[in-house]
Each structure stands twice: as C-alpha cells, then as structure tokens.
Amino acid sequence: MRFGAELRRLRRARGWSQEKTGQLLGYSDTWISLIERGKEVPTSKLALKADEVFETGGLFVELLRRITSATLLEGFEEFADLESRCRELREFQTGIIPGLLQTREYAAALTGAAVERGTITEAQADERLAFLSVRQRRVLDGRSAPVIHSVMEEACLTRLVGGREVMRQQLEHLSVMAKRPNITLQIAPQSLGELVPFLFPIVLLTMPDRSVIGYTETHARGYVERRSAVCAAWERGYDRLQVEAMSTAASSDVIRSIGKGFE
C-alpha cells in the first residue's frame, strides 16, 4: 500500500494519467491501477524503472526491499519469481497444505496464529495473504500454467487448521483442484514411515531451459538450491516418493473421506 500510494502521489504531482505513467514505466494502465491500490505486488523491475522515471534516487527500490524483508521469509521472494516462470513444479509438503492449494480461510488461520504468537504483525499477516493471492493467480491461472505434481503427507489432511468448517472447505478445494488437467495430487500415507525420502518440504522447479532448481525452507528462511548434484538427488528421491505414495484415485478417495469427517 505504501509503494502504491507513493507511486500515485508522484504521478499526480506531475499531472500524469495512469495510462501515461504505464507507458513511461513499460506497463499497462490496468497494472498501474492495481499497484496503486495494493492489489498487485510490485516487482524489482518496476521499482528500478519508477526510480529512474520519477528520479527518486532509490526510493521505490527501498520500499520494495521493506515489503519483501518484512513480509516474506528471506529467500522466498527469489523462489516465488522462479516459480512464476517454471514449466513444471514438483513438491512434497509436510504438516500443512501447500500454499498454492490453500484456501484464503486456511491461509488466514495460519497467519492469524503467527500473529498470536507474536511472530508477525497483523499488517504483515495481511501482506502475506495478499502476496499468496497474487502468487496463486500467477501460477495457477496464468497463460502458461505449469504442470504441477504435489505429494502431501497424510497429516496435511488431518491436522486441524482454522476449525472443522475451514478444513472441510479446504479439502473440498483440493478435490476441485485435483480435477485440473495440469495438477496431480498424491497422498503419502502415514504407513510409509521411514520410507519417505524427505524429512522436510521440498520443491523442484523445471525452468523453460529445462534446468532444475530446488527450494526448501526452515522457520527462519528459505533456501534456493541450484547445485545440480543436490537437485539430482532430490529428483531421485521424488521419483521414489511418487511410486510409494497412493495412486491419484486412491488419494482423491482419501481426501473426500477425510473431508466428510469434518462435516
């Protein structure tokens, strides 16, 4: 909101329309309107260009730095940018539903709990939800939506987040998402035990040039992994995980069955 308000203030001070501002910055007037209203997350490219056009000496770059450092885990901004450009996304999640597949209510329950713990402020919680919404639209509803293969631990479905109604809606949403032709969902049953090849959540992104980039995170920060040997090892583990997990049909049945239990 601060970024958008500053852009609007400087634009109006020069008597520029959103259309003219968009032309100068290399964006559409619709995009400029969304940025000014805080409906889209500004990019580093926009921040650099805005500082150049408005001659603000790094103001917009600094505002963007504050947004990303205050709201997101260190390292996550870089991952989100890569994610928005990937052609294939493979992920394994432990404990909670993956962000791309979360409903707003489910995500709000998680950020609300972080506020209660004092980990983030309410303003940061709102910014995280806004960023998640933008991220979901970019990846799931973009012109070139990637192929997505998501494997979740069974605990992701049974862990009560936000109450029974929130969980019922969340699992119903998973069932709907699983019907998309580019999305495959599998559940890793608890019975797999030590056979699960990962003790932490991971993401593997296949980029347009066919290179593979990995990502994982702790509570403190996110880690983008570019070392080919590490990513290759993760790919081998993920291939094994796909074989060991439930089939897509069985996974869908489990999602529906656990969802009914929350009614």
Q: Is 151 a member of any domain?
A: yes
Record the pTM: 0.74
Is residue 190 located within the same domain as residue 215? yes
Same domain, 66 and 83: no
pLDDT average, residue stretch 82-90: 93
Q: Is the pLDDT of residue 66 over 70?
A: no
The pLDDT of residue 67 is 67
149 and 242 fall within a common domain: yes
Per-residue pLDDT at 65: 67
Residue 209 falls inside a structural domain: yes
Instruction: State which residues form the domain around 13.
Output: 2-71
pLDDT of residue 41: 77
* 127 falls within a domain: no
Which of 71, 93, 110 is the C-terminal boundary of a domain?
A: 71
Main-chain phi, psi angles of 132, to 5 degrees: -60, -40
Q: Are residues 54 and 82 in the same domain?
A: no
Closest CA to 172 of 105, 109, 114, 88: 105
My answer on whether 87 and 62 are in the same domain is no
Edge to edge, the sheet with strand 88-93 lists 183-188, 147-153, 88-93, 202-206, 212-217, 222-225
In the block, residue with structure tokens 């901004």: 77
For all residues of the chain together, what is the average pLDDT? 90
Considering the domain architecture, whether residues 141 and 168 belong to the same structural domain is answered as yes
**46 lies in the same domain as 9:** yes
Beta-carbon contacts of residue 89 (< 8 Å; ≥ 6 apart): 83, 100, 139, 146, 147, 148, 149, 203, 204, 205, 206
pLDDT at 140 over 80: yes
Q: What CATH number did the domain enclosing 45 receive?
A: 1.10.260.40
The predicted pLDDT at position 126 comes to 81
End-to-end alpha carbon distance in the chain: 38
Number of domains present in the structure of the chain: 2
Highest mean pLDDT among 38-47, 145-154, 213-222: 145-154
Which residue from 251, 242, 248, 263 is spatially nearest to 157, judged by alpha carbons?
A: 251
Compute the distance between CA of residue 187 and CA of residue 21 in angstroms, rounded to an integer: 48
Same domain for 201 and 239: yes
